[in-house]
């Protein structure tokens, strides 16, 4: 087939329209610029071509799905399709200038099959009118859906640069803490989690300063809800490394501040962790929480020196056995 014949084939052989003149022109230009033997033909893909659509990731104005493309991509050198092809759908929504944004995004990617990430074409969800970029699925999961750079942590699809810019809690102290934790990140990501990402929320218990809930996020988690942001900030530092903290959130209705922890916390609540403040007991054997004891014990002997002495001794409290025990007056 000659070059001119190939051009005519592309012009006439693919019967499609996006319904938008600007997008149609962009697709046609990409098709006519197909040069390499292993290129795929960039095209408009009807949304009804996709089956088994499953959400795999979401961040801001971008949602990613896996799907099966029934017809599959068309290859330039053979003009044959690779049917029932697994693809990744990058859905763009809530944009002010969706067509311009779509074209700018599409321009970043190659249609050459030798590249790690291949862009097959463009589609649109007829129910939401959201535009979609259709990618090869083989290496898609290695790149951040926001900035297209390789994930800092591929296993958890965690991108450190985007974690700084993709969230905002509305509280400067909390934002500073999250940024600090991101810098210190080792094996657990730490982030601001929008409250609407939690599902199947159920109450586990309630103390003086905290309410405990179980929920589903990307996996099962425990939610510790505080009604004061400073209490939450104080408690973050009191958790030891044995209890993983995934991030912070806020209930938009109640305005409660939330710590999202590993699910195992629920099983240890009241056994290892104090019901009143949520932090690990000072002495687990006796279910004794030193911070809460200091708060709940209200006393005075109305002598400032004695009060100061007792307070100082309480701060030094250690567990011990008094051999003889307190003296009791026994009336025979």
pLDDT number for residue 46: 94
Integer Cα distance of 131 and 101 in angstroms: 10
Distances (CA, A) of 4 to 7, 8, 9, 36: 5, 6, 9, 15
Question: CA-based angle 94:96:98, to the nearest 5?
Answer: 80
Give domain 3-142's CATH superfamily.
Phosphorylase Kinase; domain 1 (3.30.200.20)
| C-alpha to C-alpha distance for 83 and 73, rounded to whole angstroms | 7
Question: Among the ranges 76-85, 91-100, 113-122, 139-148, which has the highest mean pLDDT value?
Answer: 91-100
Which of 1.10.3720.10, 3.90.920.10, 1.10.10.60, 3.30.200.20 would CATH assign to domain 172-286?
3.30.200.20
Token digits for 281? 């007991």
For 55, residues 6+ apart whose C-beta sits below 8 A from its C-beta are 63, 64, 65
Share of the chain above pLDDT 70, in %: 54
Rounded CA separation 61/98 (Å): 11
What is the structure's pLDDT at 257? 84
Least confident of 71-85, 109-123, 288-302, 318-332: 318-332
What does the alpha-carbon distance between residue 173 and residue 231 come to, in Å, rounded to a whole number? 12
Domains 3-142 and 172-286 share a fold: yes
- Domain boundaries along the sequence of the chain: 3-142, 172-286
User: Quick one: pLDDT at residue 170?
Assistant: 61
In this prediction, residues 143-160 reach a mean pLDDT of 66
**What is the reported pLDDT for 187?**
45
6 against 41, higher pLDDT: 41
List beta partners, residue 249: 258
Is the pLDDT score of 52 beyond 60? yes
pLDDT, residue 127, reads 94
| pLDDT at residue 155 greater than cutoff 80 | no
Cβ contacts of residue 29 below 8 Å, gap of 6+?
none
pTM, rounded to two decimals: 0.50
pLDDT value at residue 50: 96
């Amino acid at each position: 087939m000659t070059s001119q014949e190939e051009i005519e084939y592309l012009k006439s052989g693919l019967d499609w329209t996006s319904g938008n003149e600007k997008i149609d022109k962009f697709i046609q230009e990409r098709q006519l610029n197909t040069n390499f033997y292993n290129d795929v033909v960039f095209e408009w893909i009807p949304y009804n071509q996709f089956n088994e659509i499953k959400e795999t990731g979401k961040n801001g104005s971008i949602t990613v799905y896996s799907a099966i493309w029934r017809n599959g991509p068309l290859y330039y050198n053979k003009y044959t399709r690779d049917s029932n092809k697994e693809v990744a759908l990058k859905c763009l929504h809530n944009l002010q200038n969706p067509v311009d944004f779509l074209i700018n995004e599409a321009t970043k990617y190659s249609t050459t099959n030798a590249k790690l990430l291949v862009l097959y074409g463009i589609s649109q969800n007829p129910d939401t009118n959201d535009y979609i970029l259709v990618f090869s699925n083989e290496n898609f999961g290695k790149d951040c859906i926001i900035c297209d750079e390789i994930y800092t942590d591929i296993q958890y699809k965690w991108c450190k640069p985007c974690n700084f810019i993709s969230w905002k809690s509305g509280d400067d102290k909390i934002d500073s803490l999250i940024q600090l934790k991101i810098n210190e990140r080792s094996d657990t990501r730490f982030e601001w989690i929008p409250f609407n990402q939690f599902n199947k929320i159920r109450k586990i218990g309630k103390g003086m300063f905290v309410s405990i809930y179980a929920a589903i996020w990307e996996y099962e988690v425990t939610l510790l809800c505080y009604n004061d942001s400073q209490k939450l900030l104080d408690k973050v530092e009191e958790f030891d490394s044995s209890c993983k903290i995934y991030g912070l959130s806020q209930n938009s209705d109640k305005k409660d501040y939330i710590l999202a922890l590993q699910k195992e916390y629920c099983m240890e609540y009241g056994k290892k962790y104090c019901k009143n403040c949520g932090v690990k007991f000072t002495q687990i054997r006796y279910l004794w929480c030193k911070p809460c004891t200091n708060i709940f014990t209200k006393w005075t002997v109305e002598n400032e020196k004695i009060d100061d002495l007792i307070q100082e001794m309480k701060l030094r409290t250690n567990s011990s056995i008094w051999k003889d025990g307190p003296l009791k007056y026994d009336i025979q």
